[in-house]
């Protein structure tokens, strides 16, 4: 039985669709949905980049501000979608009532999501924003399991196109 759903968000367009689906699933299964966003930890960035010299303060400030702006957008979109589906933000209404909550951490996003996901029955992920928000390139593989007609396996576009 699905009682808890995790919807990690990146603040991009891929997350919006994943949160939308997660809300519908929470309502369907009377589950608790948690929106989860990870703000990159600047210390991890500096260590990973191998900086052994002073880092430009303006660059650091811009990195921090960008992270805050993305987190603010992710939370706002999550809350808007949750409200649109009428999910309660208070679990005290009962265990068999769909509900939602927001959680935000600082750290390494892939590691944080993997660690947090262990405590949920279902994780709803969006496709990478880098894939969705980029134009199709010649020679790049794409997969559409429904094909142009909307029927699985029907016609051109139902497999891997090059």
Question: Distance (Å, rounded) from C-alpha 18 to C-alpha 67?
Answer: 20
DSSP state of 92: G
List the CATH number of the domain containing 27.
Answer: 3.40.50.620
Q: What is the largest CA-CA distance in the chain?
A: 58
Q: In what order do the strands lie in the sheet with 4-9?
A: 99-107, 32-40, 4-9, 122-123
Does 104 map to a domain?
A: yes
The predicted-structure confidence for 49-64, as pLDDT tens digits, reads as follows 665 666 677 777 888 8
Does 78 map to a domain?
A: yes
Query: Do residue 151 and residue 78 come from a single domain?
Result: no
Confidence of residue 129 (pLDDT cuts 50, 70, 90): low
Does 99 map to a domain?
A: yes
- The number of distinct structural domains making up the chain is 2
In which domain, by residue range, is 34 found? 4-127
Output the CA–CA distances (angstroms, integers) from residue 97 to 5, 20, 26, 80, 86, in the order listed.
Answer: 13, 18, 9, 19, 11
- Mean local confidence (pLDDT), 35-51: 75
The predicted-structure confidence for 87-98, as pLDDT tens digits, reads as follows 987 655 556 789
Residues 125/114/97/3 CA torsion (nearest 10 deg): 100
Query: Do residue 85 and residue 152 come from a single domain?
Result: no
Query: Do residue 117 and residue 152 come from a single domain?
Result: no
24-38, 72-86, 88-102, 140-154: range with lowest mean pLDDT:
140-154
Mean pLDDT value across the chain:
78
Question: Distance (Å, rounded) from C-alpha 99 to C-alpha 94?
Answer: 9
């Amino acid at each position: 039985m699905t009682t808890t759903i995790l919807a990690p968000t990146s603040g991009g367009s891929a997350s919006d669709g994943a949160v939308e689906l997660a809300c519908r699933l929470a309502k369907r299964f009377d589950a608790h949905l948690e929106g989860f966003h990870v703000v990159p930890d600047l210390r991890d960035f500096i260590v990973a980049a191998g900086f052994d010299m002073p880092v430009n303060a303006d660059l650091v400030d811009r990195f921090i501000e960008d992270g805050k702006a993305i987190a603010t957008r992710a939370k706002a979109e999550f809350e808007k979608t949750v409200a649109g589906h009428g999910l309660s933000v208070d679990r005290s209404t009962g265990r068999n009532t769909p509900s939602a909550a927001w959680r935000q951490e600082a750290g390494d996003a892939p590691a944080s999501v993997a660690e947090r996901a262990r405590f949920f029955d279902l994780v709803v992920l969006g496709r990478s924003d880098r894939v969705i928000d980029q134009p199709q390139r010649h020679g790049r593989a794409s997969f559409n399991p429904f094909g142009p007609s909307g029927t699985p396996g029907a016609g051109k576009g139902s497999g891997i196109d090059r």
